[in-house]
Amino acid sequence: MELLAPVGNKSMLTAAVQAGADAIYFGVKGLNMRSAANNFSIEELPKIINYCHDHNVKAYCTLNIIIFEQELPLLATTLQTLKEAKIDAVICWDLAVINKCEELGLEVHLSTQASVSNSEAAKLWKELGVTRIVLARECSLKDIEDIKDKSGLEIECFVHGARCISLSGRCFMSHEVFNRSANRGE
């Protein structure tokens, strides 16, 4: 079992590491679901990852938004920087991100945004190179056990957190009511 903690800034990073997290996950400005968090710049990535590795903590980067065509160059630069800094895994669900991770030899953890809730879907993602899946939040303990047994994948689950109108990772209410896309981290 791995205790994975989110970090949105340097003080949260230090606190999570000092509190004993086995791993942390963080976002890069403009490419993750928590746009309101301070997040980190591309230039900060090597320092964050080195700090984690110096303290025997794994570092995962979330690139878990919908990627638009004009963002592909930023995505490529970000992933190359993460590779050079020796990121432990990228948490994503957009197929462009997964494809680029595979090209670069980066480990992929599938975001809850993919809404995986059964073993057949998990097996398809595994064929695409995914090594861990963050299951849909609707999954019961029995579902989690069955999906793990049948897929052979590492499974990650939220033990607390936000629930959107759809309950799963994809949120539509904020877009409808406030014209802000939760699927873009707004």
Q: Please, what is the average pLDDT of the chain?
A: 88
Q: What is the pTM of this model?
A: 0.85
Cα atoms in the Cβ-side hemisphere of radius 13 Å centred on 133: 29
For residue 21, give every residue at least 6 positions away whose Cβ sits within 8 Å of its Cβ, in sequence order, or none. 3, 4, 5, 57
In sequence order, which ranges of 19-118 are alpha helices (DSSP H)? 45-54, 72-84, 95-104
Tens digit of each residue's pLDDT (9 = 90 or more) over 34-93: 766 677 899 999 999 999 999 999 999 999 888 999 999 999 999 999 999 999 999 999
Query: What's the mean pLDDT in 122-128?
Result: 96
Query: What's the mean pLDDT in 109-124?
Result: 94
Please name the residue that has the structure tokens 């695409």.
128
Query: What's the mean pLDDT in 94-123?
Result: 95
Is 60 exceeded by the pLDDT of residue 134? yes
Q: What is the pLDDT of residue 161?
A: 56
Taking residue 76's Cβ as centre, other Cβ atoms within 10 Å add up to 14
For residue 159, give every residue at least 6 positions away whose Cβ sits within 8 Å of its Cβ, in sequence order, or none. none
Please name the residue that has the structure tokens 């900060």.
44
